[in-house]
Amino acid sequence: MTLSDLKNQVCEANRALEPSGLVRLTWGNVSGIDRASGLWGIKPSGVDYASLTPEDIVILDLEGNLVEGKLRPSSDTKTHLHLYREFPQIGGITHTHSLHATMFSQAGRELPCYGTTHADHFYGSVPIVRALTPEEVETDYEHYTGVAIVQRLRELGLHPLEMPAVLQRHHAPFTFGKTAMDSLQNSIALEMCAQMALGTLTLNPDQAPIPTHILDKHHLRKHGPGAYYGQK
């Protein structure tokens, strides 16, 4: 992938945030990485999505050094950086404050899997990531957000492509994918699943999550045999 390709892909995914209904104001950012070069691009901070151009995309390396870009990178840059360094399987990350998924984040409630719509994207309940400690917030908020996300998926034994979403407590969701656009699509799926779950619980507060045999079937269909990354 050329640097121009990377900038185009990351710009396209960020420009798709608003039309997808996931963001208000500038409450979101998408990044993408070219694993061959180790260079990755992210939305500049606070920039209006509709006016974003590929040349605005800020390019960094996996040490966090600025490689190219005139604008300040997203305020969540260190979170994305940590995830790229710890999850070599992912190629893109999306962070938004989408309305319903953020409700689960703020309530500290994992997002249960009530149906196949959810099962087609996420292998079970979308986990809550712990709140940061006062020391973590003080020393490096965004870096420790990434640390807490990685800790959570590892303690659950979940691969970041079988569970390409987490709900950061008191904050909002982060999703991952094979590309920037794939991570955005996972954010769209997450927001829809959050809306469906809230409606499901309204209609039936005692609704049980999807049976495991159906969840496993959808995981198998999506990832193929032998791709189960987690611990049974």
**Cβ pair 29, 43 in contact under 8 A:** yes
By beta-carbon proximity to ligand 5SP, the closer residue of 99 and 196 is: 99
Choice from 7, 43, 121, 152 touching ligand 5SP (CB under 6 A): 43
Q: Which residues on neighbouring strands pair with residue 30, listed in sequence order?
A: 94
Shortest separation between residue 214's beta carbon and ligand 5SP, angstroms: 34
Residue 29 binding ligand 5SP, by CB under 6 A: yes
Between residue 85 and residue 104, which ones bind ligand 5SP under the rule CB under 6 A? 95, 97
Residue 74 binding ligand 5SP, by CB under 6 A: yes
Choice from 19, 38, 46, 157 touching ligand 5SP (CB under 6 A): 46
Number of H helices, E strands in the chain: 7, 8
In this structure, the strands spanning 66-68 and 92-96 are unpaired
Determine which one of 34, 120, 140, 216 is catalytic: 120
Between residue 8 and residue 27, which ones bind ligand 5SP under the rule CB under 6 A? 26-27
By beta-carbon proximity to ligand 5SP, the closer residue of 76 and 182 is: 76
DSSP string, 170-185: TS-EEEEESSHHHHHH
Neighbours of 216 (CB within 10 A): 16
Question: For residues 22 and 212, what is the distance between their CA atoms, to the nearest angstrom?
Answer: 30
Residue 229 binding ligand 5SP, by CB under 6 A: no
Residue 159 binding ligand 5SP, by CB under 6 A: no
Angle, helices 77-86 vs 134-156, to 10°: value is 30
Question: For residues 30 and 28, what is the distance between their CA atoms, to the nearest angstrom?
Answer: 7
**Residues at the contact surface with ligand 5SP, assessed by CB under 6 A:** 26-27, 29, 43, 45-46, 74-76, 95, 97
